[in-house]
Chains A and B, each alone.
Chain A
Amino acid sequence: MVALFLGSHALYNFDQRKRKPTPTHLAFVYSPLQNFQLELFLSPVFVIAYFSPVHRGLYNQRCYSSVTLFEDSVLHVNVEGADTEALYVCTPGKVPIMESVTDVLQAAIDWASLAFEAPFARADVFGVHIGGHLFVEGLLFVVIFYLLSQKSYKPPKRPLTDKEIDELCDEWTPEPLIPVLPEEMQCEPPQLESAAGPHTIISGKEVVNLASANYLGLLGHKKLLDSCTSSLEKYGVGSCGPRGFYGTIDVHLDCEARIAKFLGTPDSILYSYGLSTNFSAIPAFSKKGDIIVVDEGVHWGIQNGLHLSRSTIVYFKHNDMASLQRILEKITVEKKRAKEIRRYIVIEAVYQNSGQIAPLDEIIILKEKYRFRLLMDESNSFGVLGHSGRGLTEYYGVPIEKIDIVTAAMGHSLAAEGGFCTGSARVIDHQRLSSSGYVFSASLPPYLASAAISAIDVLEENPNLITKLKENVALLWAGLSGLHGLKIVSNPHSPIVFLKLKDSTGSLKSDLQLLEDIADQLLREHNVFVVVSKRSTLDKCPLPVGIRLFVSAGHSQADLEKVCESLNSVVPSVLNNRR
């Protein structure tokens, strides 16, 4: 081995100008081994030698065609181009400079050859002659094998002792369950002493209620009350079970069929709570790896659904179609596998956080161009938009089949509770076993399903409710157009009239406080009950807060005039006091 190493070293130092091996260099290639080729092949040095640039160069330059080593230090180098074969005979010790090195070498070789000449080294095993080199190689393999079998170095693991863990556990002090409450978190919302209709009673005074999303004024409608009463008598209050386990009551199926018939879809599915509709339906259809493009202004129910779906979420600017198109384009171009994954656009028909209406016609064009499915929440548009209250699709004259999944809460215009999702039979059937809020939750109390059925009946019989609501919204718009300090940011057709501060104070907290002051004063001094859009700490909606006026068809002209008048007098005074 040593010899071979030195040999390759010598070759490495080969005089490049001459491009010929010289005896001086080759003198080091001394080996007691019998077959140089074999040894080269077997030893790691061959690898070094073969791949060392000069050595390879020798081959490439065709300086020699073969190198053969004979017994007793005779190196046979066949140099092409030379007239004759050169036979170099060399012995160690003839190179003066390297004399001392070769002495050491000689000692090592002597030792090695002693080992080879050991009696067992020349034994015959099963007729195979065990030569000295085989013995060395065997040894070499053993060493290599030993080294390979050793694990790579790792610092020794010293697990914590029980005592140490005890100490750590003692040391650990958790944060309090909830942070210390700031002062503004101490006030309570006003308590209603009667039904939350267009007029309600707060602290003994009758007030105009603009805090309930009772858009059609169906709250307290006789037909609804009657159906609820008979349902309560027949079915009791709760259903005492999830839909799968005897919690399906015939009115649930009737209600599902009624909604589907009203909207013209094949089927629909009832959820027991409006908020749970979205956060159950979205994860049922979108999983890890799927893409959801969503408006940044969506309400928390949708946000939570997006989070639970673990899909890739991309937000586009609130109601900004250019932004939506950019994002769709980008996704389609960037994602090469976009065709194979499910892609959704999620929007609200009327945004609860701003009162804006989504431009459905443009969205449909984009959706079809880029082949995205559309999930639309119609919570605030069902029963409100369109000439017969069938929602945003009717408003834009878009067939409802174009929208893959439609969800809505029934706690708004239908004056009941719960939510529904409607779409193709496949979409609905899939939810019946895959939607966690449907499968794992008790079903909607049957009387609320009856209420929803009656509400749709009433709506179908009285389309003038929608006209009345439209007029009321227009009335409020006209009365508030000159309002100082606040700006209407909602759509003129939206039943939510959203008032935003013209000049924000700079922080969400102080904005909220200012708006709360306005609402407080309206309630206390003018008997007008309005609410500020509040934000949970979990809500990631970036839109500004504001005063949200829920207009109802039940409001009379006088009510709305009073509201406008009060707002016009209170807002400037509060804002001025502030300054």
Chain B
Amino acid sequence: MITIPYLTALTTYFSYGLLFAFGQLRDLFRRIIDRWNSSNLQGYAPICLGLEDFYIRRLYLRIQDCFGRPIASAPDAWFDVVERYSNDHNKTLKRTDKIRRCLNLGSYNYLGFAAADEYCTPRAIESLKKFSASTCSSRVDGGTTTLHAELDECVAKFVGKPAALVFGMGYVTNSAIIPVLIGKGGLILSDSLNHSSIVNGARGSGATIRVFQHNTPSHLEKVLREQIAEGQPRTHRPWKKIIVVVEGIYSMEGELCKLPEIVAVCKKYKAYVYLDEAHSIGAVGKTGRGVCELLGVDTADVDIMMGTFTKSFGSCGGYIAGSKQLIQYLKYTCPAHLYGTSISPPAAQQILSAIKVLLGEDGSSRGAQKLARIRENSNFFRSELQKMGFEVLGDNDSPVMPIMLYNPSKIPAFSRECLKQNVAVVVVGFPATPLLLSRARICISASHTREDLARALEVISQVGDLVGIKYFPAAPKKEHQEDKMVKLD
């Protein structure tokens, strides 16, 4: 849990209050002016209702330039950010031809496969020539090429499950599969910070949804016991089945899932485990096989393993891995498989090649080096940030590290100041995080060199001082204390 300092909470609330008040004031004037001009709705209700886009109009648009910055190159360790300008106070942003070469601390390019790769790119282009860019058909119809079949098999082998199925988009994988697995009379126990695709999938399923405290196996157990004892609401019939949905690495927290404990709880209460490894597959574990490998969980204990290829593999799409029967069943029932265009062949080839590199099947040790590098880079960067006094969330080994900002004004300040010094960071505010807990998120890549990271740390430290987000005392004191304690011991 994040404990926000009292004073910071107060100032954050005050800032939002101020923004809200001014927003309302401006809305008031707008309404008065609108009354002057005749309404052009002609009997339609407005397409965006008042408060529904208040946040966008009055808060988001002011700092729009910190989000959605276009880039003009591959999202590698360094990339070209296209500069934009605005003539109407950030309401619209126009692209310029000017480009700023920035250090990329924002993309999910964990293993550095995003840029052209000596092994993957030629093969992707080759498959493009052979299979073209699309199949124009769904997997069950004419969208299964030999490449797709090979990919399914390769992914199953890589994640350690008997069978797997690949889909064209990660988001759709979650939102189309959960409804197939569970329906009315079932219970989905979802971590409170699960990704929107899981939430959408769960909602689409018609099953009852209960939320347990983020990454808290004890609370999961409590909820499970309560729910099994109570049964379905109103009818009190026993649940048909219970699926517990967790993520491997929580993308906004950088935390690793407490998988061994959660799996133990689920086993005890006969609930099925659905593990979303969107950020963890490829990025953690000795051979890149995700949290199961990192935390020593037998993949046989995880009933449904889901993941995406957008992050570590530098491609697109998602997979689902499980028992042979499960996959066979999905092939006949899952709408994403039946109706969605199959994954683009070059993207499929990219995944295949990336997995081969990871496993060393390309005849080099690049994969192992990449995995070692990302681990080193992440742990180095995290410990350095912590030493500087930033409030950094997340666990060791996780390449995602959020730095807490809290105050809404610090969101654009941090982002713009970093960009001025050619470091591109991602800042996140409401609605992706709770209102009070705005943060900057650093994603470390294996393609970052030590010099890159040193430069990034220098810039972040400077900007951190400027913006005032070093909520903890800087580390030398701490180290000093520790030294003393060691001596005392």
Contacts and interface: CB of A to CB of B under 8 A. Distances in A.
Interface string A143-169: 000000000000000001000110011
B193 interface: no
Contacts of B414: none
Contact of A250 (B70, B136, B268): B70
Interface string A329-361: 000000000011111000000000000000000
B240 A174 contact: yes
Interface string A172-204: 111111110100011011111111110010000
B32 interface: no
A451 B346 CA distance: 12
Contacts of B176: 275, 304
Given A189-B144, A238-B347, A276 B172 contact: yes
A253 B148 CA distance: 30
Interface stretch (A10-18, A210-218, A477-485): A210-218
B238 A246 contact: no
Nearest to A253: B70
B287 interface: no
B75 interface: yes
Contacts of B168: 273, 275, 417
A451 B133 contact: yes
B4 to A, nearest CB: 24
A209 B424 CA distance: 47
Interface in A404-453: 404, 409, 411-412, 415-417, 426-427, 429-430, 432-434, 436-437, 439-442, 444-445, 447-448, 451
Interface string A209-253: 101111000011000110011001111111111011111111011
Contacts of B424: 246
A366 B334 CA distance: 36
A36 B376 CA distance: 96
Interface string B39-50: 000111111110
A471 B121 CA distance: 40
A411 B343 CA distance: 10
28 contacts: A169-B268, A175-B240, A175-B241, A178-B181, A192-B146, A196-B142, A220-B132, A234-B116, A236-B114, A236-B314, A237-B346, A238-B316, A238-B347, A240-B114, A250-B70, A275-B340, A276-B171, A276-B175, A287-B49, A300-B338, A415-B133, A441-B170, A445-B316, A447-B133, A536-B180, A536-B339, A537-B333, A539-B338
Nearest to A299: B339
Interface in B209-231: 224-225, 228-229
A161 B32 CA distance: 62
A304 B204 contact: yes
B13 interface: no
Contacts of A160: 229
A316 interface: no
Interface of B: 42-49, 52-53, 56, 60, 67-76, 79, 81-82, 95, 104, 106-109, 113-117, 120-121, 124-125, 128-137, 139-146, 148-149, 168-172, 175-176, 179-181, 195-197, 200, 203-204, 224-225, 228-229, 238-242, 268-272, 303-304, 308-311, 313-316, 325-326, 328-329, 331-336, 338-341, 344-347, 350, 424, 426, 432, 441
A415 B344 CA distance: 10
A173 B125 contact: no
B171 A437 contact: yes
A445 B113 CA distance: 13
Given A245-B426, A274-B341, A275-B340, A174 B272 contact: yes
Max chain A C-beta neighbours (<10 A), residue from B72, B172, B331: B172
Given A174-B240, A245-B67, A534 B140 contact: yes
A219 B129 CA distance: 11
A246 B336 contact: no
Contact of B53 (A189, A273, A430): A430
Contacts of A447: 128, 133, 346
A446 B219 CA distance: 43
Contacts of A192: 131, 135, 142, 144-146
A238 B112 CA distance: 11
Given A189-B140, A246-B426, A248-B71, A196 B132 contact: yes
Contact of B47 (A415, A416, A426, A535): A426
A432 B70 CA distance: 14
Max chain A C-beta neighbours (<10 A), residue from B180, B335, B345: B335
B254 to A, nearest CB: 14
A23 interface: no
Contact of B44 (A275, A371, A433): A371
A434 B56 contact: yes
Nearest to A252: B70
Contacts of A228: 128, 133, 346
A177 B228 CA distance: 17
Contact of B95 (A236, A253, A444): A253
Interface of A: 160, 164-165, 168-169, 172-179, 181, 185-186, 188-197, 200, 209, 211-214, 219-220, 224-225, 228-229, 232-241, 243-250, 252-253, 272-276, 279, 285, 287, 299-301, 304, 307-308, 339-343, 371, 373, 404, 409, 411-412, 415-417, 426-427, 429-430, 432-434, 436-437, 439-442, 444-445, 447-448, 451, 529, 531, 534-539, 550
Contacts of B72: 249-250
Contacts of A404: 47
A232 B125 contact: yes
A537 B125 CA distance: 37
Given A235-B73, A411-B136, A433-B60, A539 B241 contact: no
Contacts of A253: 70, 95
A248 B313 contact: no
A426 B104 CA distance: 31
Nearest to A230: B125
A165 B229 contact: yes
**8 shortest interchain CB distances as A-B pairs:** A211-B142, A411-B341, A273-B169, A442-B310, A441-B171, A195-B132, A212-B136, A237-B350
A537 B345 CA distance: 28
A168 B315 contact: no
A445 B308 CA distance: 14
Given A241-B106, A430-B53, A432-B68, A342 B45 contact: yes
A236 B228 contact: no
Nearest to A301: B339
Contacts of B132: 195-197, 219-220, 224-225, 415
Contacts of B56: 429-430, 433-434
A340 to B, nearest CB: 6
B135 A196 contact: yes
A426 B149 CA distance: 43
A177 B303 contact: yes
B109 to A, nearest CB: 4
Contact of B329 (A175, A181, A190, A343): A181
A246 B169 contact: no
Max chain B C-beta neighbours (<10 A), residue from A300, A404, A427: A300
Contacts of B76: 236
Contacts of B95: 250, 253
A537 B338 CA distance: 10
Nearest to A167: B229
B175 to A, nearest CB: 7
B43 to A, nearest CB: 4
Max chain B C-beta neighbours (<10 A), residue from A174, A176, A250, A415: A174
A247 B332 CA distance: 33
Nearest to B354: A237
Nearest to A233: B116
B317 to A, nearest CB: 9
Given A178-B326, A194-B131, A211-B142, A237 B315 contact: yes
Contact of A225 (B133, B148, B240, B326): B133
Contacts of A241: 75, 106-108, 310
